[in-house]
Structure formats: structure tokens, C-alpha cells
Amino acid sequence: MLVYLLCFALFLTGLYGVLAQRNIIKIVIGLSIMEFSLFLFMVLIGYVRLGDAPILVNGKEQTVFVDPLPQAMILTAIVIGLATNAMLLAIAIRIFRKYGTFDVRKINHLKG
């Protein structure tokens, strides 16, 4: 149970980063931390105690396997996370070029 709670703590750490930090790069880092805490959580869901890699080989006796589905899903989710992060950082670079700062308090052209 402890590992799940640790995952959740990591998730909250990331959320704190997103909500409390003023630097947009740190906000992006916070989002990544949240993302990876979830990936960890989902891989743990599929973990079976003393389970083996889910590959069928002739002459292998053991029948307890870890669940491969969350692993496949996480691989997909990592790729999606890569795209999201690349997009966020590209926008962050453009923002720095236009505003000359990474401080969210000074990036406030939109109001209302």
C-alpha cells in the first residue's frame, strides 16, 4: 500500500509545482512530475508479486506473470507525454522571445 501512497505524494508534489511556481519552465517540470507519478502508479497496478515477464517460452514451468497491459499502455502514454512536453517547451521558448521573461506574473496580457 505504501508504494501507492508514495505515488500519490509524488503526484501532489507535481501539482504543487504547477500551482505554486512562478517560472514557466518549473511549471512544465511540475506537469512532468505529475505525469510520471501516474505512469509509476499504473505500472504498479499491473505488478504481480513474484511474477515473471509475460513471455511464453517452451519448457517454462512458471505460470505467474505480471500484467503486460498497463506496461503497453504506459509506453503509449510516455509517447503522448513526450509530445505534450515538447509542445509546452516550444511555447515556453516562444513566450521567452516575445516577453523576455519566464515569470508568469509578468505574462499577463489577457484579462477579463
Residues in the site for other proteins, rule: CB under 8 A?
Answer: 11, 15, 18, 24, 27, 31, 34-35, 38, 41-42, 45, 69-70, 73, 76-77, 80, 83-84, 87-88, 91-92, 94-95, 98-99, 107-110, 112
Identify which of residues 49 and 109 has a Cβ nearer to other proteins in the complex: 109
Taking the least distance from each CB to other proteins, the nearer of 15 and 66 is 15
- Note whether 38 and 13 are within 8 A (CB): no
Cβ distance to other proteins smaller for residue 9 or 80:
80
The alpha carbon of residue 18 and the mean position of all alpha carbons in its chain are separated, in whole angstroms, by 13
Residue type for 25, please? I
Minimum Å distance from CB 73 to other proteins?
A: 5
Number of residues that this document lists for the chain: 112
Least Å from the CB of residue 6 to other proteins: 15
Q: Which residues contact 81 (CB under 8 A, 6 or more apart)?
A: 32, 35, 36, 39
CB nearer to other proteins: give 59 or 112.
112
Q: Return the DSSP state at 49.
A: T
User: Alpha-carbon distance 66 to 100, whole Å?
Assistant: 50
